[in-house]
Amino acid sequence: MKLEQSFMPSIDQLADQYLSSQNTVNTNKQDAESFSEILSKKQDAAGTPEVPKFSKHAVNRLSDRSIALTQSQLDRLTEGKLRAEAKGINESLVLVDDLAFIVNIRNNTVVTAMDSTLSNESVYTNIDGAVIA
């Protein structure tokens, strides 16, 4: 019985196969570490709620009305936004102390802001929910 030469791989061919399989294993380990790092960063980011952005209009209103937010008020605004989001509200009035904010929940954006004690009207339109934070 005679074996053909193509049936028997050479030592060089076996070495190449072995080395290429080792590279694949190492690449997979590197990918797994990279993935776990990315996952960890995403989980860390998800742990801290995102502070709402302020539209240009809202920033102008805050400036025009000399309203300065404290960190506590900003935290409560963020909490109010999260509570509105949990209830399925799209456009929310969020009341923080004497301040009123209209927040677009989907865009995570404060659309306008006002000091409710200085406002002549207590009517808020184009909202589908309100949160007292």
- Give the residue from 89, 106, 125 showing the smallest Cα distance to 133: 89
Report, as an integer, the average pLDDT of 34-38.
64
In this prediction, residue 45 carries a pLDDT of: 62
For 99, half-sphere exposure in the C-beta direction (CA atoms, 13 angstrom radius) is: 23
Indicate the average pLDDT of the chain. Answer: 80
| pLDDT of the residue at 11 | 74
How many angstroms separate the CA atoms of 92 and 125, rounded? Answer: 10
